[in-house]
Amino acid sequence: MAIRKIRIDGDPILRKRSRALESITDRERELFDDMIETMHDADGIGLAAPQVGILKRMIVIDIGEGPMKVANPVLRDYEGEEILYEGCLSIPKFSGAVKRPHALTVDYMDENGEEKTMHATGLLARVFCHETDHLDGILFKDVTLREDQIPEEVREQHERELQGE
**Of residues 65, 115, 131, 153, which has the active-site annotation?**
131
Q: Is the dihedral of CA 8, 75, 129, 100 positive or negative?
A: positive
| CA gap 70, 48 in Å, rounded | 10
Alpha helices for the chain (secondary structure H) = 26-41, 122-135, 152-162
| CA gap 11, 61 in Å, rounded | 22
E runs forming strands in 20-163 = 46-48, 58-61, 68-79, 82-88, 91-100, 103-109, 115-121
Is 131 designated active site?
yes
Catalytic residue numbers, as ranges = 131
